[in-house]
Structure 1
Amino acid sequence: MTALHDKAKGKVNPVVAVGVEVDDAGNLDDVVLYRQQAPHTYKQVKYTVDSRSPLDTSYLTGPSKNGGPSILRKVADAWVALTRDGAPVELALVTNRASSPADQLLAGRDARTMLLMPAAAEQTRRSERGRLRATWAQATNLTEPQLLMLLNVLQFDTARDLRHLEETTSLLMLVNGLRGDHQAVRSGADWVAEQARYGHRKIDLEMIETAVRDQELRTGPARSVLSVATLKPDPLKTQAVHVLDWVDRFDGDDAFSKRRPRAPFTWQQLQADVEDIPHHLGAVPQVALTGSLRQATAFLIGATLRMVTNVDLAVTQRGQLWESAADYDQATHPILAEHSLGIGEDLALAVEVATPMTDDVLVFLRTQQVPVDRLVVLQPPRGAKDNAISTPAAAVALTVGLRDQARRSAKGHPRIHLFLAGPMGLSLLLGHRWNRVAPTTVYEEIRHSVQYEAAFTINA
Structure 2
Amino acid sequence: DELRELLSVLRFDLARDQTHVQERLQLLMAVAGLRHDEHAVTSGADWVAKQVRAGHRTLILDMVKAAVDTLGLRAGPARAVLSIATLKPDPVADDADYAIDWVNRFDGPDDFTKRRPLPPATWTQLQMDIEAAPTRLPLGTAAISITGSIRLAPAFLTGAAFRMVTGADLAVLQRGQLWSTSEPYDAPQPPTIHEHYLDQGDELAVAIAVATDPTEDVLDYLREQQTPVSRLLALTPPGGAKDRSIPDSATANALAIGIRDVVRRATRKAPRIHLFIAGPMGLALLLGHRWNRLRPTVVYEDVRTAQGYEVAFTIQA
Task: Describe the superposition over 1:263-284 as per-residue Cα deviations: whole angstroms up to 9, x where unpaired.
Answer: 0111011111111112212321
Q: Does 1:289 align with 2:216?
A: no
In structure 1, the residue matched to 2:310 is: 453
Tell me which amino acid in the other structure corresponds to 1:274: I
3-state SS of 1:203 partner = coil
User: 189, 203, 218: which is aligned to 1:332?
Assistant: 189
Q: Distance in 2 between matches of 1:265 and 1:202?
A: 46
In structure 2, the residue matched to 1:103 is: none
> How many residue pairs get matched?
315
Structure 1 residue 355: deviation in Å? 1.0
User: 126, 129, 135: which is aligned to 1:273?
Assistant: 129
1:204-243 equivalences under 5 Å are 204-243=60-99
Structure 1 residue 196: deviation in Å? 2.1
Mark the CA change 1:78 to 1:394 in structure 2 (over 3 Å): closer, same or farther. farther
User: 372, 380, 384: which is aligned to 2:237?
Assistant: 380
Q: Say which structure, 1 or 2, has more relative contact order (CA 8 Å, 6+ apart).
A: 2
Q: Distance in 2 between matches of 1:332 and 1:79?
A: 62
Mark the CA change 1:200 to 1:452 in structure 2 (over 3 Å): closer, same or farther. same
Q: Distance in 2 between matches of 1:459 and 1:79?
A: 59
Q: Distance in 1 between matches of 2:6 and 2:284?
A: 47
Q: Distance in 1 between matches of 2:218 and 2:61?
A: 53
Q: Does 1:257 align with 2:184?
A: no
Q: Does 1:443 align with 2:283?
A: no
Q: Does 1:81 align with 2:8?
A: yes
Q: Does 1:94 align with 2:13?
A: yes
Q: Distance in 2 between matches of 1:407 and 1:252?
A: 37
Q: Does 1:397 align with 2:266?
A: no
Q: Distance in 2 between matches of 1:192 and 1:180?
A: 16
In structure 2, the residue matched to 1:343 is: 200
User: 284, 287, 292: which is aligned to 1:427?
Assistant: 284
In structure 2, the residue matched to 1:311 is: 168
Structure 1 residue 242: deviation in Å? 1.1
Tell me which amino acid in the other structure corresponds to 1:384: A
Tell me which amino acid in the other structure corresponds to 2:97: V
1:49-88 equivalences under 5 Å are 81-82=8-9
User: 227, 238, 245: which is aligned to 1:370?
Assistant: 227
In structure 1, the residue matched to 2:30 is: 174
What percentage of aligned pairs have identical amino acids?
54
Task: Describe the superposition over 1:96-122 as per-residue Cα deviations: whole angstroms up to 9, x where unpaired.
Answer: xxxxxxxxxxxxxxxxxxxxxxxxxxx
Structure 1 residue 197: deviation in Å? 2.3
- Relative to the length of structure 1, the TM-score reads 0.66
Q: Distance in 2 between matches of 1:173 and 1:252?
A: 31
Mark the CA change 1:78 to 1:457 in structure 2 (over 3 Å): closer, same or farther. farther
Mark the CA change 1:395 to 1:78 in structure 2 (over 3 Å): closer, same or farther. farther
Tell me which amino acid in the other structure corresponds to 2:149: S
In structure 2, the residue matched to 1:190 is: 46
Gaps of 5+ in 1: 1-24, 27-76, 83-90, 96-157
In structure 1, the residue matched to 2:177 is: 320
Q: In terms of Rg, which structure is larger?
A: 1
3-state SS of 2:97 partner = strand
Structure 1 residue 202: deviation in Å? 2.8
Tell me which amino acid in the other structure corresponds to 1:442: V
Task: Describe the superposition over 1:300-340 as per-residue Cα deviations: whole angstroms up to 9, x where unpaired.
Answer: 01111101011111111111111111111100110000111
Tell me which amino acid in the other structure corresponds to 2:232: L
Structure 1 residue 233: deviation in Å? 1.0
Higher mean alpha-carbon deviation, 300-309 vs 197-206, is at: 197-206
In structure 2, the residue matched to 1:51 is: none
Tell me which amino acid in the other structure corresponds to 1:198: A
In structure 1, the residue matched to 2:104 is: 248
Tell me which amino acid in the other structure corresponds to 1:308: V
Structure 1 residue 92: deviation in Å? 5.7
Gaps of 5+ in 2: none
Mark the CA change 1:386 to 1:164 in structure 2 (over 3 Å): closer, same or farther. farther
Q: Does 1:417 align with 2:254?
A: no
Higher mean alpha-carbon deviation, 192-201 vs 434-443, is at: 192-201
Q: Distance in 2 between matches of 1:80 and 1:197?
A: 23
In structure 2, the residue matched to 1:407 is: 264
